[in-house]
Structure 1
Amino acid sequence: MDVDLDYEAFRAVMGSFASGVAVVTTRTPAGEPYGLTCSSVCSVSADPPLLLACIRTPSRTLDVLRESGVFAVNFLDAHGREISRRFAGPVQDKFDGVPWRPGTARGVPVLDRVLAHAECSIQQLIDAGDHVVVIGLLVGGDVDRSRSPLGYWRGSYMQVYRMDQPGSIRVEVPEIVEPHGVGDAEMVVELGFGLERIGL
């Protein structure tokens, strides 16, 4: 199959789609936690409740996830940039100094101070190029509505602010992206520093 789009062009195109940032976690049968940063997460179905996460191969976290059959998706809040970097890099013990607890549904690691988390059991694994698409059935989770999300767009972190709520403000930073419609709301983003080595 001929591919006319080179790697950098592909990254530029796909990087134009703003996303949240999550940490996918799992555990060994002995309870040892594993995790990685992932920005390729989305819902698949409401009935049954399914989501997917795309994980680059090879990955020790993916190996453990396959073995355990369970995982959690931890959606990072606006203060989660350092956690994102930690789980994206080649850190020996990524959980060292990171508060977490076993999830109530499957015992998978749930990070503290996240926007939301979803506990899942694996429904399907699909090989797709240099990634594996992990489809999970939600069996538990929780939401903290007091927090705002960490985002990622065109190689940089961003903070997202809803404009349809009292008290929303436009933050002055070197570059501000003009609001664009997001469903019934709008958002303004504050650019941060680039995300490193997603999917390790």
Structure 2
Amino acid sequence: MTSDRAPDIRPLMAGFPTGVTVVTTTTALGEPRGMTLTSLCSVALDPPTVLVCLRRGSPTVEAVRESGGYAVNLLHSEARSTAELFASGAADRWDRVAWSLGPGARGPHLEESAHTIADCEVADVHTVGDHCVVFARVHAVTLLRFQKPLLYGMRRYGNWAESGEDSNLLYDYIS
């Protein structure tokens, strides 16, 4: 059966649980921007390259284009409120979370909410439908703590369920 209407792929993607990240950057004037997303993908190990998909026309994607960089803040399992805050678009979100922008950072670091942060330099941007696919080279990875990641699937947040010992998970995490 064919249709002139494009299929709704949200049920497909809801069945594909993934980690949750907040991508952050700054405007040319140094103002912080950021948004929650689950579309982060490893592209290559050499050179280390990732991609994120950002909603076209969002203040974050415009600032990423201006600044040429962004930070990927991988959220830990206790950071659901941060994920929801940056998904809400609340104008005061930067006043409601702890963040820092140290030397070499490509975007604000959400150190209390993230377990790992990557600083990335934009390599290429492709517009695909209502999103921009932003390829970037990873310049630095900061491991903040060992903590299970925040997950999103079936249109809800969840936590990693581990049946084995966490010590094995820690070994896999750092090797």
- Tell me which interval the TM-score lies in, with the shorter structure as reference length: 0.7 to 0.9
Describe the shift of the 1:120–1:103 C-alpha distance in structure 2 as closer, same or farther (beyond 3 A). Answer: farther
CA shift digits 1:150-179 (9 cap, x unpaired): 0001101000033231589xxxxxxxxxxx
Describe the shift of the 1:166–1:89 C-alpha distance in structure 2 as closer, same or farther (beyond 3 A). Answer: closer
**Structure richer in helix, relative to its length:** 2
Unaligned runs of 5+ in 1: 169-183, 185-200
Describe the shift of the 1:2–1:124 C-alpha distance in structure 2 as closer, same or farther (beyond 3 A). Answer: farther
Taking structure 1 as the reference length, the TM-score comes to: 0.77
User: How do 1:1-200 and structure 2 match up within 5 A?
Assistant: 6-7=7-8, 10-113=9-112, 114-166=114-166
CA shift digits 1:53-94 (9 cap, x unpaired): 001122011111100001001000001111011100131122
Secondary structure of 1:88's aligned partner: helix
1:26 positional shift: 0.2
1:5 positional shift: 5.4
1: CA distance between counterparts of 2:166 and 2:60? 41
RMSD between superposed Cα atoms in Å:
2.1
1: CA distance between counterparts of 2:59 and 2:91? 12
- Give the number of aligned pairs: 167
1: CA distance between counterparts of 2:12 and 2:155? 11
Describe the shift of the 1:141–1:4 C-alpha distance in structure 2 as closer, same or farther (beyond 3 A). Answer: same
The one-letter amino acid of 2:109's match is: V
The one-letter amino acid of 1:159's match is: N
Kept in 2, the 8 Å contact 1:77–1:148? The answer is yes
1:41 positional shift: 0.5
The one-letter amino acid of 2:7's match is: D
1:4 positional shift: 6.3
Kept in 2, the 8 Å contact 1:103–1:119? The answer is no
1:141 positional shift: 2.0
The one-letter amino acid of 1:34's match is: R
Describe the shift of the 1:64–1:164 C-alpha distance in structure 2 as closer, same or farther (beyond 3 A). Answer: same
Kept in 2, the 8 Å contact 1:75–1:116? The answer is yes
1:32 positional shift: 1.0
The one-letter amino acid of 2:23's match is: V
Secondary structure of 2:124's aligned partner: strand
Q: Percent identity, aligned pairs only?
A: 35
Secondary structure of 1:120's aligned partner: strand
Kept in 2, the 8 Å contact 1:35–1:94? The answer is no
Unaligned runs of 5+ in 2: none
The one-letter amino acid of 2:12's match is: V
**Structure richer in strand, relative to its length:** 1
1: CA distance between counterparts of 2:162 and 2:145? 13
Secondary structure of 1:65's aligned partner: helix
